[in-house]
């Protein structure tokens, strides 16, 4: 059994599709994308197919004369007798024929295609499991976004120039590997073809094809590797060097190349392996070596990640950089534990704040603003200062019975969510030995958790009662 004839062979040729339903429309669409002229035969035909300029529609049941003049045939009806008739007549005329979901009647298979022209990828199970091939296509489609077509066009545009300038074939292959798996490709995928062209020409002008390095400030999300963005995963997997923080999970670091330089920067609460100034200098130095550098941070680089300071340091040294956002911990925690950050009946605004200030200056927060009604307050890095935070909020007008929660290790397998009230929160944290990384979530929205995740409510009520008894004792 053969596969679908090469796309360039069906372009401009007449092909037959018998069946005008969803499956027939999909098969016709594959042929139309390849440039074929398509004759569709069916008692009923999809309106979109009817309107296509390269479709000849015949509103009828299949008849032998419908095979006249076609290059190949596809039977996609839900009537096996009709499908078998198409198959037998086509094969008698030596015409390639495909019958959907019936390999025994096929002389060729139509794979599931992922089109990133000029890049084309085909998936096939030999007709055994079309659903599986479509699933695999969908998985790869998420890894290869639509703008990869742009990268293919870029490579085609500069193919001849590179061939003229890099005459040695093995060296030319390495040149293209470096260009298409490095900074040039990232520029193209980001839509900066002018910048990509400048980098490519810089590579051509340099005898050793050495580029200036670039830094990517990448958000690793709240911890669960599945919440990493596609772009972040791609950059991690191709980075020459990765400078990563304490909150970046192992599953995420497993994406790094085996030969990548991995540098641990720490950034654990009150325990930094590397001071921020040293990190800034390190990023500059690595980029000046010509490396593609990923600065990997838990959450989002620009939300309590000090990414702004690093970006300033890079800009001051003229180092190109790109910021790749990630899900911040508040978003991850909210989705994972069933506490909406905003809700029409509970909170019209959201405040993200940090529970400590830089350089050990102590708590100097806008307590009146944080204590306002009808809002959700999420405090990062505040567990160690929790008693003072709750005391100040109550002192500035927030009712002590306002619902509140502590979310420890959000989105990870050992995640915990402990709910109570603002007044109870310090004793709850002590009783349950809550440790960073943990978020403090305050506001009426916390009460919604009992409705969204009712299975957790009895256990949390029991924990709160246990805490009260312990305090009384």
Is there a contact between 13 and 68 (Cβ–Cβ < 8 Å)? Answer: no
In this prediction, residue 125 carries a pLDDT of: 65
What's the CATH architecture for 212-327?
Answer: 3-Layer(aba) Sandwich (3.40)
Mean pLDDT over residues 48-57, rounded? 92
Q: Which two tokens stand for residue 75?
A: 């039977």
Q: How far apart are CA 97 and CA 87, in angstroms?
A: 6
Indicate the range of 141-145, 267-271, 307-311, 469-473 predicted with least confidence: 469-473
Region of poorest pLDDT, from 20-24, 34-38, 183-187, 194-198 = 183-187
Percentage of the chain exceeding pLDDT 90: 55
What are the CB-based long-range contacts (under 8 Å, 24+) for 198-207? 200/158, 200/162, 203/175, 203/178, 203/179, 204/161, 204/162, 204/165, 204/166
Whether 245 is a known active-site residue: answer yes
Q: According to the per-residue pLDDT averaged within each range, which of 151-160, 286-295, 443-452 is highest? A: 443-452
Set 27, 231, 267, 297: catalytic member: 267
Catalytic residue among 245, 297, 300, 409: 245
Pick the more confident residue, 181 or 62. Answer: 62
Give CA–CA dist 208/168, Å, rounded: 13
Q: Is residue 378 over pLDDT 50?
A: yes
pLDDT at 61: 94
267: annotated active-site residue: yes
Fold of 330-472: 3.30.950
Residue 458 pLDDT > 60, yes or no? no
* pLDDT value of position 70: 95
Categorize the per-residue pLDDT at 272 as very low, low, confident or very high, splitting at 50, 70 and 90: low
- 430 CA to centre of own chain: 37
pLDDT value of position 211: 57
DSSP 473: -
* Top-confidence residue, 40 or 46: 40
Model confidence at 399, pLDDT cuts 50, 70, 90, reads: very high
Question: So what CATH class is 2-110?
Answer: alpha beta
């Amino acid at each position: 059994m053969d596969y679908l004839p090469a796309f360039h062979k069906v372009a401009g040729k007449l092909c037959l599709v018998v069946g005008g339903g969803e499956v027939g429309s999909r098969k016709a669409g594959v042929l139309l994308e390849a440039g074929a002229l398509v004759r569709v035969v069916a008692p009923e035909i999809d309106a979109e197919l009817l309107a296509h300029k390269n479709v000849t529609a015949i509103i009828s049941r299949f008849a032998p004369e419908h095979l006249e003049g076609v290059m190949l045939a596809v039977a996609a009806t839900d009537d096996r007798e009709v499908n078998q008739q198409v198959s037998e007549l086509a094969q008698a005329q030596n015409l390639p024929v495909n019958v959907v979901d019936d390999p025994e009647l096929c002389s060729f298979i139509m794979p599931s295609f992922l089109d990133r022209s000029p890049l084309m990828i085909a998936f096939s199970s030999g007709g055994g499991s079309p659903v599986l091939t479509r699933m695999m296509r969908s998985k790869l489609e998420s890894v290869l976004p639509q703008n990869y077509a742009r990268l293919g066009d870029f490579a085609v545009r500069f193919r001849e120039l590179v061939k003229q300038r890099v005459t040695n074939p093995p060296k030319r292959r390495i040149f293209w590997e470096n260009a298409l798996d490095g900074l040039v490709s990232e520029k193209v995928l980001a839509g900066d073809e002018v910048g990509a062209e400048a980098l490519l020409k810089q590579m051509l002008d340099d005898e050793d094809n050495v580029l200036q390095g670039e830094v990517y400030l990448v958000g690793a999300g709240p911890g669960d590797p599945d919440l990493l963005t596609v772009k972040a995963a791609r950059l991690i997997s191709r980075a020459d060097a990765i400078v990563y923080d304490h909150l970046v999970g192992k599953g995420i670091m497993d994406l790094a190349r085996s030969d990548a330089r991995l540098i641990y920067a720490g950034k654990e609460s009150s325990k930094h392996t590397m001071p921020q100034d040293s990190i800034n200098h390190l990023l500059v130095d690595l980029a000046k070596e010509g490396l593609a550098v990923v600065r990997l941070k838990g959450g989002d680089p620009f939300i309590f990640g000090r990414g702004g300071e690093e970006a300033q340091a890079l800009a001051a040294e003229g180092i190109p950089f790109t910021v790749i956002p990630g899900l911040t911990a508040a978003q991850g925690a909210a989705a994972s534990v069933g506490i909406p950050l905003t809700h029409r009946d509970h909170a019209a605004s959201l405040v993200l704040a940090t529970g400590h200030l830089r350089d050990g200056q102590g708590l100097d927060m806008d307590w009146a603003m944080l204590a306002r009604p009808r809002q959700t307050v999420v405090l990062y890095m505040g567990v160690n200062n929790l008693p003072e935070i709750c005391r100040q909020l109550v002192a500035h007008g927030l009712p002590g019975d306002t619902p509140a929660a502590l979310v420890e290790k959000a989105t990870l397998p050992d995640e915990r969510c402990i709910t109570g009230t603002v007044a109870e929160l310090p004793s709850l944290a002590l009783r349950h030995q809550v440790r960073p990384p943990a978020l403090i979530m305050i506001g009426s929205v916390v009460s919604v958790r009992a409705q969204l995740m009712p299975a957790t409510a009895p256990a949390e009520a029991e924990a709160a009662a246990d805490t009260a008894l312990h305090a009384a004792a």
